[in-house]
Amino acid sequence: MFIFDISNPLTLILMLVATVLLIFLSQEIKKSYITAITLFVYLVILVVHVTQIATLSEEFRYMITTLSRCIAIDFVFVLITFFSYLWVDDIEAKASGKKSIDNSLDWFWKKV
């Protein structure tokens, strides 16, 4: 059974660097869809890991701990990319003079 093991430290560091670079890119060009694509990818990875743990056969029960760590890390990445999407959407809205999707975090963006 193939598992995309993101709990491996090297993979985790590479994914974190790629995420930060994509967030920085979307912030620089003021396009929130880049961060939205990243968020969608992490949500797909989360669904894949949950599906793998739900359909795990008896012979692969030793992989439950690895999959559980991967799911926890997936949630962290989803949280990071979700907040960064809201942040970049706010930047994009201010740059184009439009109303952003959600202004409920204005107090937070002013402190960032």
pLDDT tens digit sequence for 25-52: 999 998 889 999 999 999 999 999 999 9
Inside any domain, residue 93: yes
Inside any domain, residue 100: yes
Q: What is the DSSP letter of 8?
A: S
Q: For tokens 């989360």, what's the residue?
A: 46
Inside any domain, residue 16: no
Average pLDDT over residues 5-19: 91
Residue 38 sits in which domain range? Answer: 31-111
Full-model pTM: 0.83
Inside any domain, residue 101: yes
Inside any domain, residue 7: no
Contact 93, 99 (CB under 8 A): yes
| 8: pLDDT strictly greater than 70 | yes
Look up residue 51 and give its amino acid: T
Helix axes 33-54, 64-96, angle to 10 degrees: 160
Residues 6+ apart with CB under 8 A from 42: 74, 77, 78, 81
Task: Count up the domains in the chain and report the number.
Answer: 1
Inside any domain, residue 26: no
Inside any domain, residue 37: yes
**49 burial type by CB count under 10 A (0-12 exposed, 13-18 middle, 19+ buried):** buried
Inside any domain, residue 74: yes
